[in-house]
Amino acid sequence: MDSAERYSRQTMLPELGTEGQKRLSATKILLVGAGGLGSPIATYLTAAGIGTLGIIDADKVSFSNLQRQTLYTEDEVGQSKVECAYKRLHGLNHEVSIRTYDCFLTKYNAEEIIAGYDIVVDGCDNFATRFIINDICIAAGKPYIYGSIQGLNGQVSVFGVPDAFGKVHSYRDLYDESELLSMEAPSKAVLGITPAVTGSVEANQVLQLAAGFGEPLIGKLWSIDLRTMESYIPAMKTIVITRPAFFDGETYLVNSLFLEGMERLHLRKPGASEEELAAWLQDIDSQYYGRIVLHDCFPLAKKFALGGVHLNSRNPEAPQGIHGMTVSRSCHSIREIIQHKSECDYLFLSPIYDSISKEGYGAAFSRIELKRAAEEGIIDNKVFALGGVSLEHIPEVRSLGFGGAAVLGALWQAESPVEYLKALENA
């Protein structure tokens, strides 16, 4: 078969074309792991005409693999995965050079093997190997395409190469090695479709990087939840909470924050009367009312056409007649997040760090606990970190899987709250 005919459907794409195809055919890819993720990655890269595909895996095919590892058949149970993969892939596209390594990637052989490839793609199932790949790729300036799955959730990102601002992102930005390796092994429960979807996204990242088109996930973490079919690249959002007490010049400052782009303000004044809150709201430009969420005196939300109401121990139930408004809630345990997530548009989880505004109010969760909740899909883009959050915490808040951060003390104690908000948004 003529190569031009084989790849005609993808070379029709203006993003790829014949020049992009030439770049694909000149690229050498190392796939670490030939399992659930590796099966779609290897299949689609081979079909797309990648130049060289190296596959490293020491496992043998088992019956439990067949539910999701589509490279293999029942007749191949007990045989070497890389040998079976070679036969299947060579039969799919003999133009691709397939190299196999019937071993595991370790700290002793990784550097030598990776040196022969342009891009490394993650099809493995353990944290230790990912740290090895990450560190070698960063040292060598090579792209490392990360992918992971659990249950009905998948993640993909690109590490090892600089983003548009020159920052090189690392797997270590997501996870602390000592904490992660000390955790119990995650559950092996998985829907067969999960690695198929996630691995396909990884394969797409390879093609983007190799052919030079699109916007690869450099510095971005793509996630999918197959329970809800929500697929997103988390964009950190900042919610500002007012100081508990009124202060001189507060409404002027709040208007300035809105003018500079503040997306959402939570009006929280415990103990304030309805009259006091109404007077405060009257000093705010009415065009911003839709961005304000009320913590008390809920009738004012409808009167001023505010953006939402926030539930807490003082007001645990949403009032009637708030159609079109958001409903949020404060939670102080992972169990509460699970309990209330479906009934709210978003939730606060606190305290994540030692409080800035409440003396003696310390962090209530370990990093291991938070990471596990994120891996299980409990912490996601609907959950906001609250409690002691400051500018320096934003990278970690993002890596822990939160949809954003709610700030209070750090912003209001800043020399310029407006400039501090800008810095938070830029972070």
pLDDT at 314 over 90: no
Of 98-102, 227-231, 371-375, give the lowest mean pLDDT range: 227-231
Whether residue 242 is found in the same domain as residue 185: no
- The token pair at 225 is 């939840």
Whether residue 333 is found in the same domain as residue 403: yes
Q: Domain range spanning residue 202?
A: 3-232
pLDDT of residue 359: 67
Whether residue 15 is found in the same domain as residue 158: yes
Q: Which long-range contacts (CB under 8 A, 24 or more apart) does 250-257 make?
A: 250/280, 251/280, 251/283, 251/284, 252/283, 253/417, 253/418, 254/284, 255/283, 255/284, 255/285, 255/288, 256/418, 257/417, 257/418, 257/421
pLDDT of residue 1: 59
pLDDT at 45 over 60: yes
- Please give the single-letter amino acid code of residue 189: A
Whether residue 79 is found in the same domain as residue 130: yes
From 81, 35, 36, select the one nearest 60 (Cα to Cα): 81
Residue 66 burial (CB < 10 Å; 0-12/13-18/19+)?
Answer: middle
Which H helix or E strand runs over 44? helix 38-48
Higher pLDDT, 172 or 67: 67
Whether residue 52 is found in the same domain as residue 197: yes
Q: Can you give the pTM of this predicted structure?
A: 0.60
pLDDT of residue 86: 98
From 419, 427, 422, 405, select the one nearest 241 (Cα to Cα): 405
Whether residue 177 is found in the same domain as residue 221: yes
pLDDT of residue 74: 97
Tell me the C-alpha distance between 25 and 109, whole Å: 26
Whether residue 257 is found in the same domain as residue 312: yes
Name the β-bridge partners of 149: 154
Q: Which of 202, 232, 262 is the last residue of a domain?
A: 232
- The token pair at 126 is 């353990």
Tell me the C-alpha distance between 102 and 329, whole Å: 52
pLDDT at 398 over 90: no
pLDDT at 369 over 80: yes
Whether residue 307 is found in the same domain as residue 415: yes
Name the β-bridge partners of 145: 121, 158
Helix (H/G/I), strand (E/B), else coil: 391: helix
pLDDT of residue 165: 45
Tens-digit pLDDT profile for residues 246-261: 999 999 999 999 998 8
Q: Quote the number of domains for the chain.
A: 2
Which H helix or E strand runs over 36? none
Cβ of 28: how many Cβ atoms within 10 Å?
Answer: 16
Tell me the C-alpha distance between 166 and 171, whole Å: 17
pLDDT at 427 over 80: no
Whether residue 396 is found in the same domain as residue 268: yes
Which H helix or E strand runs over 184? none
DSSP assignment, residue 341? G
Of 2-6, 49-53, 242-246, give the lowest mean pLDDT range: 2-6
Residue 18: which CATH number?
A: 3.40.50.720
Cα atoms in the 13 Å half-sphere on the side-chain side of 131: 13
Whether residue 268 is found in the same domain as residue 384: yes
Q: What is the mean pLDDT of residues 141-162?
A: 94
pLDDT at 425 over 70: yes
Which positions ≥6 away from 253 have C-beta within 8 Å?
Answer: 417, 418
Residue 366: which CATH number?
A: 3.20.20.70
Q: Which of 186, 212, 232 is the last residue of a domain?
A: 232
Helix (H/G/I), strand (E/B), else coil: 6: helix
Ramachandran angles phi, psi of 298, nearest 5°: -55, -30
Confidence of residue 135 (pLDDT cuts 50, 70, 90): very high
Confidence of residue 235 (pLDDT cuts 50, 70, 90): low
Q: Which of 209, 232, 255 is the last residue of a domain?
A: 232
